[in-house]
Amino acid sequence: MNTATQTIDLKKAAAGGGLQPGYFARRDVWDWLFAALVLAAGVAAFALYGSAMDGYEKAILAGTVPSLVWLGWFWRPLRLLTVVVGALALLAIWLYQAPGGGADLARSEQVFLLKYFISSQSAILWMSVLFFMSTAFYWIGMFTRAGAAFEAMGSRLAWVAIGLALIGSLVRWYESHQIGPGIGHIPVSNLYEVFVLFCWMTAAFYLYYEDRYATRSMGAFSMLIVSAAVGFLLWYTVVREAHEIQPLVPALQSWWMKLHVPANFIGYGTFAIAAMLAFAYLIKQTAGETRWYKLAPLWLLGVVLCFEPIVFRQSAAEKGGSYWFVYFGVSALIVGTIMFGRRRIAERLPSFEVLDDVMYKAIAVGFAFFTIATVLGALWAAEAWGGYWSWDPKETWALIVWLNYAAWLHMRLMKGLRGTVAAWWALVGLAITTFAFLGVNMFLSGLHSYGEL
């Protein structure tokens, strides 16, 4: 075959899809502009704050720049989110500057935009409201003829809520540094801050799957877990005044926290999505059932939701104690709606294959990040307490979580685990994960007791 013939064949193969342009060749002008903007922001951060960073923090920032560029290229909606969040966070920081120079946190009650929208607490409160509204729109979409329009609105509200959560977190990070020397820290250090992290990370992962599978009907179930987390966050804010920024305890004054906690919560968030889609899978299966024992998923949900006010009954004597009575009523409404509307819900949900596939992918992603978080936690423990593993209750239950999902994935990949058993197992996994996250803090003590309720 001569060179001319080879060239013609290559052109035909390329035209027919046989050859694909390289990764960088597929980038358009907006991709490169986004990369340049992120790089410029990273360089500016080094120039402005490099003197306040240690070597580890500089390494984390250096790694964040290409990671953020890759994420923006991988999933393009993140580009707009990044730009908007960055611009509004910088606007909030600028608004905190007093006329005479220097930051003045009292301006959060004096400047309109800060007071009502983009101070850390205002942004997080708006996040809470919008996540509730997003969940409501997704559920309205389940039962109306104009379901697609309502679900689209739910999706848009979830995006705005994620943006406000990120703005609130970034501004809170800045605010913590203005309180006093040694107080500033990344906002992932207590239950209030990590619940904000859980909310926006879980919603973001769900929106990725929504986009990837071109269906919004999973949102009603996926966003329920986000709204439940928001509900806890609001209670915790009222009863514990957890929104107040506090200095870090000595065990948390480590750069490991900046890596360990986010990796952990990617795991928690994706495990939660998998469990809620497993619940949707089981509801779809029971659409035509009338026998009470076949409706076990619904009875289980009712027991779990109604048990939560009993767990937090100690708040009854505190301000916010009546909150759990409202929670109980809302929970009963949700369970009743699903019970009587399960036929319509089953029609709106995607196929069993899609639900099963998303459940699997969410657990696979969560397991990978939870493994990384566990390794990072061991390294952190070695630095803080002198040993990689001490069988502390938190560590023990983290191992149980890891083993549970390792077994789930093994059975999936080696034995073809699918369907009902996989769904029930994912629900049990969420119960184990929830106890590892909250139950250990509530009922057990140990080296991680600084996170108690």
Is 300:427 a contact under the CB 8 Å cutoff? yes
- 303, part of any domain: yes
Q: What is the mean pLDDT of residues 136-147?
A: 93
Q: Which of 340, 376, 96, 358 is nearest to 206 (CA)?
A: 358
Q: Which of 366, 387, 376, 383 is nearest to 433 (CA)?
A: 366
Most confident of the ranges 1-10, 133-142, 388-397: 133-142
- 46, part of any domain: no
Residues in a beta bridge with 97: 103
Lowest mean pLDDT among 59-63, 160-164, 165-169, 206-210: 59-63
- 322, part of any domain: yes
* 119 SS3 class: coil
Q: Which of 170, 208, 204 is nearest to 85 (CA)?
A: 170
- 76, part of any domain: no
Q: What are phi and psi of 103, to 5 degrees?
A: -85, 145
Maximum Cα–Cα distance for the chain, whole Å? Answer: 89
pLDDT confidence of residue 64 = 92
Q: Which of 186, 171, 169, 164 is nearest to 108 (CA)?
A: 171
- 7, part of any domain: no
Q: Is the pLDDT of residue 73 over 70?
A: yes
Is 389:403 a contact under the CB 8 Å cutoff? no
Contacts of 332 (CB under 8 A, 6+ apart): 302, 305, 306
Query: pLDDT digits over 228-264, tens only?
Result: 999 889 888 887 778 888 888 877 778 788 889 999 9
- 429, part of any domain: no
Give the integer Cα–Cα distance in Å for 88 and 50. Answer: 22
- 316, part of any domain: yes
Give the integer Cα–Cα distance in Å for 434 and 403. Answer: 15
pLDDT confidence of residue 440 = 80
Q: Is the pLDDT of residue 113 over 90?
A: yes
pLDDT confidence of residue 13 = 46
Amino acid at 261: V
Give the integer Cα–Cα distance in Å for 76 and 32. Answer: 12
Range of the domain at 315: 291-338
Q: What is the pTM of this model?
A: 0.90
Query: pLDDT digits over 286-318, tens only?
Result: 876 666 666 666 666 666 665 555 555 554 444
* 145 SS3 class: coil
* pLDDT tier, 31 (very low <50, low <70, confident <90, very high otherwise): very high
**Per-position DSSP letters for 204-215, written without gaps between them:** HHHHHHHHHHT-
Number of compact structural domains in the chain: 1
pLDDT confidence of residue 328 = 73
- 216, part of any domain: no
Token representation of residue 68: 């953020």
Query: pLDDT digits over 319-353, tens only?
Result: 445 666 777 777 778 877 887 888 899 999 999 99
Give the integer Cα–Cα distance in Å for 27 and 77. Answer: 15
Q: Is the pLDDT of residue 75 over 80?
A: yes
